[in-house]
A and B are shown apart, each in its own frame.
Chain A
Amino acid sequence: MSLTRRSFLGTSAVAGISLFDPNIVLGADKTLTIALPNNPSTLDPMQISNHDSMAVSNVVFENLLEVDLDGNVVPSLAHKMPEISDDQTIFKFDLRDDVVFHDGSKFSAEDVKYSYEYMLDPKNKSARRTLFAPIQEIAIESPTRIIFKMKHPYRPWFQYMTKFMGIFPKGSREKLGDDAFKNAPVGVGTGPGAFVEWKQNDYLEVKKHANYWRKGVPAWDRMVAKIVTEDAARVAYLMTNQAQIISAPPPREFERLKTAPGISTGSKVAVGGMWFMQTNTKRAPFDDVNFRKAVSCAIDRKRIAKDVFYGLMDPSAVPAPTTVSYHNADADKAVGYDPAKAKDHLAKSKYASNAEFELLVPSTPYLFDAADASVVMQSQLAAVGIKMKITAMEMPQILQRDIAGTQVASLLPLMGPSDPTFIIQICYTADQLMSKSSGWTSPALDEAIKESYKYQDAARLDPIYKKIQAILAEDCPNIWLGFVGVSNAWRSEIKNFKPNTGLTIWTRDVQFG
């Protein structure tokens, strides 16, 4: 065979492409690479404040219970769901006997008591201590049985377990120090992945826990979480197989990814993914219920969900997604989009002649970019005669103003626990973190929340949740906009993966196709 210039170039090109093909290095070992949009702030399970951290911290640490992919609370380090006393204040957990930490030490009730007591001690400054504050006492009955006594019925704490806490070995804090938990928690978790390395702004790596108590998982030997902040770059990582799963694909790309060959996508509404306009009822013009209702009725949430978020948002005018059983459709309708009703409320308002206000909008995206949506809202409000001035501000400053109650209105995207009372409790009950931001409380609401803490089952909880929404719709203390859809995109060869309701990536059960 003669070697012509053309054949030489052709052969070289093929060889070159083979050498250059980045896909060739992937799949050689069982490494799962995921791409996250934000750099985790900490890996310490009792200090988690950034939802991206959880994609790794939930692989390293576990708790007695966990929230599964469908949002159900299921046993984890507990052998089964706890026995609960009739008055809903005593929780008896039977623990698994086959669990070991990454350093090989055996897990027992001593570790659970130590972990919770360490977190509850104010001097250890756990970011989420107040959420577990109703825990009154923790008693060990045997190495595999532990009892939590609560000050009062407090259903939501099951939901907070996976999101805001994890179990670590007794004495580990004194031995390693808090910084080790924050930056390099080696040997201190029971989860499927043991911490290996964290290079700031670049990647985090865990390896398979060789003695993990769940048999057959994880399927990967290494999991690498790459920090890829740019939306387009994250999509490119997926398309080139540099990452097999990506978090938060940009809404504008999501439709295209749905039909891209070799790519799978999924989206699910997150009960904790709230988006709302926090209006201050102590300050004009939101001190007038008619003005608040006029604003609420002027915003076409469905249009924003469709045109700005490409369907990745569930529009709702009440603090409940439309897809859940406790969504109160009547309350939603009462304060939902209706321009005629908006004009009517505005006419009844004392601010009918000078209807204007300032909205604080995050200057850089947090969870998702709300800037475009605020401009659409501005035009919708203008259509009914309300002038809205948009002021871009950094999220910490907005939150500072909200907490101090000095804002008039602010646009807040938050990712809280899935319990429906979480955000209502912190915004509309007295002496809570965000109480001053709304300036609104209601004895009827307090009573309903307190009542809800007694129950675990939907049959009794749904009517209470609906009642809470009706109370809020009646006085409309703030403007609910909707719930963010959790969306992921992944390579089709990745099996047994789907988005979960915690807005993070759950990799434990992933299988390679």
Chain B
Amino acid sequence: MPTQTNSDDRIALLQGTLDLLILRILVLGPCHGQGIARSILRQSEEVFFVDHGSLYLALQRLEDKKWISAKWGLSASNRRARFYSLTEKGREQLLQKTNEWRRLTRAMGLILGDPSTEEA
């Protein structure tokens, strides 16, 4: 069972990375909060633990910045939920942040001696 994973193996998200993850998930299409949380957990192979309070605050923050928009709709199971979708501005941000993140991880990797760079 996915939720059985020992919580010690999970990594608390770095400040600012949650925003990036949310944007990334939403590229695939509109999604509600629970769906986003599930996707992050699943796609990170259950490494990232998403604190739900933080998640909704981040959603609110992104909505304020107009990177994402929200409206109430019906889920697959016909349940009312608030669906978030990426705005044009959000799409640009995602691109930029992704690039920044890549540069950061590459630089970190170079210094820390990432096996992949060593091989290269």
Interaction A to B:
no
Q: Which residues of B contact A (CB under 8 A)?
A: none
Q: Which residues of A contact B (CB under 8 A)?
A: none
